[in-house]
Amino acid sequence: MMKINRKIKPAGLYIHIPFCLKKCGYCDFLSFGGCSSRLQEQYVEALKNEIGMYAGQGIKIDTVFIGGGTPSLLHENHITEIMKAAEAAFCITEDAEITIEANPKTLNADKLSVYRRAGINRLSMGAQAMNDEMLEFMGRAHDRADFLENFRQARQAGFDNINADLMFGIPGQTMEMWKDSLRQMIGLGPDHISFYSLQLEEGTEFARMYRNGEIDLPESELDREMYHEGIRMLKTAGYNHYEISNCAKPGHECRHNLKYWDYDEYYAVGLGAHSFTYKSGRRCNVSDFEKYFELTGAGLLPQDEDMYEEESLQDMMGEYVFTALRKLEGLSLDDFRETFGRDFHDVYSEQKPVLAEYAGKGLVIITDTHIALTVTGIDRSNEIMAEFV
């Protein structure tokens, strides 16, 4: 039972597609390379079943995010079917932001125009680097030319809201290589750029290589320099740095991802997908295909009950702070009060001296209305956020 009291707004809908051409060396997302088209078809059927279980509840949705994995690997007709199922089950607003994630080499002009006809109005492309040597090293299935061609086709198909993902801190990547990728990307002018530092995740090929001494990670100092150089170049090019890892041209901030950082509700369907609603809390779907098919086939929501833990009010407030501080505008004290019925400074009175200390060092800004990390504070975000959880 949730203990918050917030004005209900339209929610987000996340749809997970767990297929990729092949697995990248650094990736620990729930995705599988080289799956048969039979498994993909079976999955789409099960997914449509799951989506249909939400019908008749009048759930209003104003952002849809088809993510993965590589959704663009599916046949385009499957995407149309999934969108039709979503439109039949949920009340999707006319002005909804509808994103599909796509990887170069799995897109073409036909697919892109089918997506447009299915109502998809935002494309998120995994570029990662604009350097073939880096792409090959990362185990990406595409090269720079594939990205350029797909980007051009996407603009031609009418996509006027495109995100490109880039990575830095890749083993062997120099500052000059990172700046070159950024320069090339800025030259293309996507509407939104996400940029992430490569992290070593357990169970990945990179983690194995690192343990065996086959790769080295860049020094953390260089990683931070790359981050700040990225922000500097993107801001100079007219992008607004609105979240730790995201920059957008004005008006192109990702409305779906903002729901995660704004403590808004989102439904989620598909293998291993995570949802958050005020009524049911945080839920997670099963991540095993057989179990997923069995439950959806029996007309049951494929939620993993073993993963469910009821959160205390303290946990919820901690999560709220943790996600709100990811936004450069920071945490709104009014919104915190409206959500939990308590004053932030009362709840976190013990943290007041340490917050003041961070503010004194220029890592945090405290005003009458907001608490926010500064760009320097972002380098110590884990430490600062940990004060609240």
Q: Which residues form the interface with ligand SF4 (CB under 6 A)? A: 20, 23-24, 27, 29, 31, 68-70, 103, 126
**Least separation, in Å, of the C-beta of 67 and ligand SF4?**
9
What does the alpha-carbon distance between residue 181 and residue 143 come to, in Å, rounded to a whole number? 13
**Maximum Cα interatomic distance, the chain, rounded to a whole number of Å:** 59
**Least separation, in Å, of the C-beta of 3 and ligand SF4?**
35
**Least separation, in Å, of the C-beta of 147 and ligand SF4?**
13
Nearer to ligand SF4 among residue 11 and residue 24 (C-beta): 24
**Least separation, in Å, of the C-beta of 222 and ligand SF4?**
22
What does the alpha-carbon distance between residue 32 and residue 11 come to, in Å, rounded to a whole number? 28
**Least separation, in Å, of the C-beta of 13 and ligand SF4?**
19
What does the alpha-carbon distance between residue 10 and residue 267 come to, in Å, rounded to a whole number? 11
Nearer to ligand SF4 among residue 103 and residue 150 (C-beta): 103
Nearer to ligand SF4 among residue 123 and residue 317 (C-beta): 123
Q: H or E segment at 226?
A: helix 220-236
What does the alpha-carbon distance between residue 389 and residue 382 come to, in Å, rounded to a whole number? 11
**Least separation, in Å, of the C-beta of 18 and ligand SF4?**
9
Classify residue 21 by its DSSP letter: S
Look up residue 93 and give its two tokens: 């607003």
Nearer to ligand SF4 among residue 69 and residue 218 (C-beta): 69
Q: 197, 227 in Cβ contact below 8 A?
A: yes
- CA gyration radius for the chain? 21
Q: 98, 122 in Cβ contact below 8 A?
A: yes
Nearer to ligand SF4 among residue 78 and residue 327 (C-beta): 78
Nearer to ligand SF4 among residue 73 and residue 154 (C-beta): 73
